[in-house]
Amino acid sequence: MKGPLTVLVVDDNAEFRAGLKRLLQAEPLVGQILEAEDGLRAVETASRAPVDVVLMDINMPRMDGLSATAQLTQVSPAYVIMVSVEHERDYFRRAMQVGARDFLVKPFQAEELHAALERAMASRRRASLRGGRPGRAVLFTSFQGGAGCTSLVAWLARLAASRRNEVVAVDLDIRLGNLSWYLGVETSASWAQVWVEEGDAVERLAEAAVRVDDCLRLVPAPTTLEQLADLERGGFEEEYGQAAARVLDAARGLGRLVLGDAGHALGETAPAAMHSADQILVVATPEVPAIHRLARGLELLTGHMGLPAHKVAVVLNRCDEPGGIAPRQLQEELGREFLALLPADYRLAAEACNLGRSVHQIRGRSRLTRSLISLLDAVMDGAVPPRAS
C-alpha cells in the first residue's frame, strides 16, 4: 500500500539518490518519490508539484541546499530535512535559520529516516488541524515603557482561547519578559532551549511551551543568564532577533493565533520579529511625549525599516486618561486611525495582573473588557484601518 507522503530527494550524486530512493520505497509512510539533482531543480519541482517532505543535500552545484531551502520554503509548505555529511552545528543552525525543519547525518539508517518522516507526519497533522494554514502572527510592541503591551497580549490570549481558538502567546521580550507573570504561570522554560538540541523547531517549541489552559500555550522569553547562554550555544551570539523571528514562525505551527510580546520596538528582538509577523500592533498612551515618540517611531518602522504600512496599526491604551489628549485630535495629528481605543481602568488592570487573569474573567461587562473584545475581532479579521486622509 502506498503511504501518504510525497518526498522529493535532492542530491547531485545519482548514486546517493538511488540508494535513498530504495530506502524510501521500503518506507510505509512514503507514496510518491520525486528527484532533483540540484537546488534550482528542487525549487522548480516544489513550486509545480505538491511536495510534503524534501530531503535536501547541502553541497550541490548551481544552487546549494541552504539557498534552495530559503527559496523553496517561500513557495511550498514542504517539510525540509537537511541531509549532510558534515555533522556540524553550524550547518544545522544555518539550515534552521533559512526554514529547514529537521536534520539527518549521512550515512543514516532506515530507522532514523523513519523517525524523521514520523515528525514530518506529526507536523502535517498539526497543520491540518489549523485548516492547513499556518497561524496568524500578531506582534505587540511599543516605543515607550508601561504602555500595556504585555497586559494586552495576556488578556487577548486568554480571551481568544476562551472562544476555543488554539492560541500561542510568545514572549519575545528578551531579558525582561514578564508575560508568564501576567498569565499567572511559573516555569523555567524559555524559547532559548529550542535551539540547543537538534530536531524540528516546531516540535521543540511545543516542548518549551507551557500550557496555561485548554486552548492557550505560553512560550516564555529567555531572561536568565543561563537561558541567554543557551541562545549563544544555539549559535545566536549577536543575533537574538534572528532567533526570535524564527520562534515566531515556528509558533505558527502550533496555533491558529500567535500573539507575540516584543517589548520595545527598537529592542534586541522586535525589529527582526516584525518582518516575520502578519500584523504589528504598536501600543501607545495619549500623553504628549508618548505621542511624539509614536509619530517618530512609526516613521522608523515604515520608512527606515521598510515594513509595509498596512501591516502596522496603533492601539491607544488608557485613551480616556484625565489630562490625556483626545483620541480624535491624536488621529488627526498622526494622520491615521487607531485600530482600537481601550479605556483606563486601574483597579481592574491591577486585579487582573495580581491574579494572572484577563480582565474579561474578572469583570465581563466592564468597558475595558468590551473594547478588548472589539480589538480581538479586529485582530482576527486582520483588519487594519486605512490611513485617514
Ligand X SMILES: Nc1ncnc2c1ncn2[C@@H]1O[C@H](COP(=O)(O)OP(=O)(O)O)[C@@H](O)[C@H]1O
Among 99, 135, 148, 324, indicate the residue that binds ligand X (CB under 6 A): 148
84 is an interface residue for Mg ion by CB under 5 A: no
149 is an interface residue for ligand X by CB under 6 A: yes
- Positive or negative, the CA dihedral 20, 24, 30, 32 is positive
Contact (Cβ atoms closer than 8 angstroms) between residue 50 and residue 6 = yes
User: Which of Mg ion, ligand X, none does residue 345 bind to, with CB < 5 to 8 Å depending on kind?
Assistant: ligand X
The residue among 254, 6, 279, 260 whose CA lies nearest residue 130 is: 254
Binding mask 347-386 for ligand X (x = CB under 6 A): --xx--x--------------x------------------
Minimum Å distance from CB 137 to ligand X? Answer: 18
The residue among 371, 347, 345, 349 whose CA lies nearest residue 358 is: 349
If the CB atoms of residues 162 and 178 are measured against Mg ion, the closer one turns out to be: 178
If the CB atoms of residues 176 and 388 are measured against ligand X, the closer one turns out to be: 176
Rounded CA gap, 297 and 378, in Å? 22
Contact (Cβ atoms closer than 8 angstroms) between residue 217 and residue 168 = yes
Quick one: cell of 37? 539533482
Beta strand spans in 268-389 (E): 279-284, 312-317, 340-342
Quick one: cell of 50? 505538491
Site for ligand X in 308-347 (CB under 6 A): 317-318, 342, 344-346
Q: What is the identity of the amino acid at 223?
A: T
Minimum Å distance from CB 286 to ligand X? Answer: 11
If the CB atoms of residues 150 and 371 are measured against Mg ion, the closer one turns out to be: 150
Binding mask 101-140 for Mg ion (x = CB under 5 A): ----------------------------------------
Contacts with 156 (C-beta within 8 Å, 6 or more apart), sequence order? 259, 358, 372, 375, 376, 379
If the CB atoms of residues 76 and 151 are measured against Mg ion, the closer one turns out to be: 151
Rounded CA gap, 127 and 250, in Å? 12
Select the span of 56-64, 146-154, 187-195, 323-331 touching Mg ion (CB under 5 A). 146-154
142 is an interface residue for Mg ion by CB under 5 A: no
Minimum Å distance from CB 367 to ligand X? Answer: 10
150 is an interface residue for Mg ion by CB under 5 A: yes
Please identify which residue in the block is written with the cell numbers 488541524: 129
- How many CB atoms are located within 10 Å of the residue 334 CB? 18
158 is an interface residue for ligand X by CB under 6 A: no
Among 97, 142, 180, 193, indicate the residue that binds ligand X (CB under 6 A): 142
172 is an interface residue for ligand X by CB under 6 A: no
Quick one: cell of 235? 549559535
Minimum Å distance from CB 142 to Mg ion? Answer: 8
Contact (Cβ atoms closer than 8 angstroms) between residue 190 and residue 221 = yes
Q: What is the identity of the amino acid at 46?
A: A
371 is an interface residue for Mg ion by CB under 5 A: no
Site residues for ligand X per CB under 6 A = 142, 145-151, 283, 317-318, 342, 344-346, 349-350, 353, 368
Site residues for Mg ion per CB under 5 A = 149-150
